[in-house]
Structure 1
Amino acid sequence: MKDLMIRNLYHLEETIAADLFEGKDYPWEVLPEIGSFILKLGPTLPKDEYDQVGEDVWIAKSANVFPSAYVHGPAIIGKDAEVRHCAFIRGNAIVGEGAVVGNSTELKNVVLFNKVQVPHYNYVGDSVLGYKAHMGAGSITSNVKADKMLVKVHAGTENIETGLKKFGAMLGDHVEVGCNAVLNPGTVIGRETNVYPTSMVRGFVPARSIFKNTGEVMRKKTV
């Protein structure tokens, strides 16, 4: 389904990880390769712009990482990013330029494009968040099904096999997720879509929509 393809969700010029997506159709295809990509890219980063701190962790000199934050490699923290108090980065994480990882937020196996904000008590695992995507306070990705079966993406009448046991959410550029929303395994949200607070989202939500509840999705009005 073309609406779920990388080219229709993301502007790849807004991530240091553009090469990770090369040759792939769907964004979840990058999930098993994030860690190895970081290990390859990290040593090539300009030493006048990035410091290697600890094992397999590269942090831009212009980034602001609070002393209480924990960053486990492999990880790259981009230029002008902010990693705030008690953030927990568990590894296999790329934090884009100007992104915000907030207090008590946990990341694991993720790509955050530039200017992404996950600023308050978020869990983001096995996910890709596009340029300027924002998750409200307490909103999370649920990345494993209760029955532990492989994740499928439900898109209309189609069920797309991913072959993945762990798959959180793919958020397109400029997606806004309201406070305390839960994005269930296999969620894909198109560009410029808004998700209401406390929503429970599953499957594909089209671009430029407003998601209120399951079965209640409105197209945005064009001005």
Structure 2
Amino acid sequence: MKFDFIPGENPSYFESLRRDASISELPVAGTTVRQAQIDFLEATDHEFSKEAPEVLLADNFWYAPEDLENFSRGEDLSENSFALRFPWDLLRLNEILVAHIDTDFIEAHVYDGAQNEGFLYAGKGTKILPGVFIEGNVIIGDNCKIGPNCYIRGNTFIGDNCHIGQSVEIKNSLIMNNTNVGHLSYIGDSVLGEKVNLGAGTVSSNLRHDGSNHRSEFHGELIDTGRRKFGVIIGDGVHTGINTSFYPGRKLYPETTTLPGQIVQKDLKA
């Protein structure tokens, strides 16, 4: 079965994460959106998948494998299939993919005193230092340094060449290549782009006091994210000063910076 991808609507909403982003090529769960889609659909057991010579798909949409046959017939898709219109949709997809792994694949050097509960993918050249506790499914790329004394919670993906420093907690987040999260920081339910550097003590909030869904502003419109827990979207090349704090659901556009001790109450644009 062959999959052909046609350009879908690529709204400017992804500018908050990466300028001129091709959504299908964004990293997620150790692969790309497009390759993850191909892998999942090829693994489906539906008879349709064995018979269909070609399937035409939009490249900014996630098609759940169980919906493949319905899609081909023009029928409605389930809620497990969804458009990738906003950066938090990438977080939703990452949750699905990381939760799906069902075995360990560890090429990293895991030091004595590090613990893992759940399934772990960890690449070559990566060091997981003493005192690191990994809970739930986690994917870590190549040549990373994790710890010491970190708490990494599922369903988290950390890309290649990343540094997660002393006493950092990461929860249910997507962190792209060449990004550093400085010591004594907390990042939860968030997406961090490439070449981000978070100063020590950078903290994201991810829960409203009233418990309602977070909303995020794009082009003057507040959009319901559908997420009760939602941290921060941090674009490529962002640097934060030490002890920066984020209100939940905020966005830092590529190449923006913060001052030491800054409280980010509104989106920051370069």
TM-score under structure 2 normalisation?
A: 0.67
Q: Which amino acid is the alignment partner of residue 186 of structure 1?
A: G
Give unmatched runs, 5+ long, in structure 1: 210-223
Match of 2:90 among 30, 45, 68: 30
Q: By how many angstroms is 1:170 displaced?
A: 0.6
TM-score under structure 1 normalisation?
A: 0.80
What is the rounded CA distance, in whole Å, between the counterparts of 1:8 and 1:151 in structure 2?
A: 18
Q: By how many angstroms is 1:201 displaced?
A: 1.3
Match of 1:59 among 122, 144, 149: 122
Contact 1:142/1:184 (8 A) holds in 2: yes
Per the alignment, in what secondary structure is the counterpart of residue 163 of structure 1?
coil
Alignment-derived partner of residue 221 in structure 1: none
Distance 1:7 1:193, change over 3 A: closer
Pairing 1:9–2:18 present: yes
What is the rounded CA distance, in whole Å, between the counterparts of 1:76 and 1:140 in structure 2?
A: 22
Contact 1:42/1:58 (8 A) holds in 2: no
Aligned length: 205
Give unmatched runs, 5+ long, in structure 2: 1-9, 37-58, 62-83, 111-115
Q: What percentage of residue pairs aligned between the two structures are identical?
A: 27
What is the rounded CA distance, in whole Å, between the counterparts of 1:117 and 1:173 in structure 2?
A: 12
Larger Rg over CA atoms:
2
Contact 2:17/2:233 (8 A) holds in 1: no
What is the rounded CA distance, in whole Å, between the counterparts of 1:155 and 1:197 in structure 2?
A: 27
Pairing 1:80–2:143 present: yes
Q: By how many angstroms is 1:72 displaced?
A: 1.7
Q: Which amino acid is the alignment partner of residue 119 of structure 2?
A: D
What is the rounded CA distance, in whole Å, between the counterparts of 1:105 and 1:162 in structure 2?
A: 26
Match of 1:183 among 238, 246, 249: 246
Match of 2:188 among 84, 101, 125: 125
Distance 1:156 1:82, change over 3 A: same
Q: By how many angstroms is 1:36 displaced?
A: 2.6
Q: Which moved more, 1:119-128 or 1:32-41?
A: 32-41
Q: Which amino acid is the alignment partner of residue 202 of structure 1?
A: Q
What is the rounded CA distance, in whole Å, between the counterparts of 1:42 and 1:50 in structure 2?
A: 18
Alignment-derived partner of residue 54 in structure 2: none
Pairing 1:164–2:227 present: yes
